[in-house]
Amino acid sequence: MSMDESSKPEKMISRRQMVGLGAGLAAVAVTPAFAEGAADKTKGSTAQPMVDVTTKYPRPPYDATQQAWPGLASKMMPPPDHGEKSYKGSGRLLGRKALITGGDSGMGRAAAIAYAREGADVCINYFPTEEPDAQEVVALIRAEGRKCVAVPGDLRVESFCNLLVQKAVDGLGGLDIVVSNAGRQHSVPNIADMTTELFDWTMKTNIYAPFWIIKAALPHMPPGATIIATTSEQAYDPSPDLYDYAQTKAATMNFVKSLAKQLGPKGIRVNGVAPGPFYTPLQISGGASPQKFMDFGGKYPLGRAGQPAELASVYVQLAAQDATYTTGNIYGAGGGMGQP
């Protein structure tokens, strides 16, 4: 027999109330544990605070004090940011072995610091007069408990390029990342003033050296290895005063696409990075006129030049094992101009 409403006990709890009460008790029970788990997941996070990217770094006008080639980052005012203090690693390249040309400054230095903090051992190459900058990089890499092999020399010499690869392999115990980054750039507004010596210097450094180094490195590189080349927005939108440099960067872009097809079946990936205007010694040691450098990047949407630290994570991503379907691609960092 069912009760009518008037005969139900005053404190009888309805089914709906019971469900609601149960859900509330369950929430009380799990909330502390859930909160603790959420805190654990953010512990050791490498995330950086969100900032206004237009004012994150110095804006023009820049100090255009010129240096003799190849220039030192440590003498620039202010010095470039390569991630010395800001880059935090998370073990993405643990156990990897990388050779980076031009590893003393610029994008090469940013990549070297990031690779070491991600767990890789690193060999850097640089021109002998860049020793002061190179030793700073060596100290930063070794501070992470990683091996560092420093090999100064002139990449325009084939025998040295072969020796460089061998020293990297011997010193690191193998080789599975090659970052072809070193480059020669000099501003010559009029082709009539471009000497054969300068033209040859650019071609040997930017085209011949990667050919020699990659050729020597490939026998040591296992499936899963990667090659990363530094090209430039100049490959897509060349400046009138960089006649020779722009040609070499277009060639770099194309060798990335060509080698990716050739080496893909061997399990070796090849990609490129194309910076826009970046604040490095390349610019104040003949790469740009003082007038151009003073407003370097000022007309770009972000209103400033890029800093090498802003490209470090791109070099890491292209080397990491969670990017294994990326090959034959060019990653740009152009400050808003859309190249590439």
In terms of Cα–Cα distance, which of 262, 264, 235, 226 is closest to 111? 226
Between CA 238 and CA 243 the distance in angstroms is 8
Strand 148-152 vs strand 177-180: parallel, antiparallel, or unpaired?
unpaired
Q: For residue 21, what is the enclosing H or E element?
A: helix 15-42
Q: Is 245 a catalytic residue?
A: yes
* Cα-based angle 275, 280, 283 (whole degrees, multiple of 5): 90
Q: How many CB atoms lie within 10 A of CB 207?
A: 15
Q: Which of 57, 115, 236, 245 is catalytic?
A: 245
Q: How many CB atoms lie within 10 A of CB 38?
A: 10
In terms of Cα–Cα distance, which of 68, 229, 74 is closest to 137? 74
Strand 330-333 vs strand 269-275: parallel, antiparallel, or unpaired?
parallel
For tokens 């379907």, name the residue. 325
Between CA 134 and CA 124 the distance in angstroms is 8
Read off the amino acid at residue 290.
P
Cβ neighbours of residue 317 closer than 8 Å, sequence gap 6 or more: 323, 331
Helices and strands (H and E) in the chain: how many: 10, 7
**Positions marked catalytic:** 245
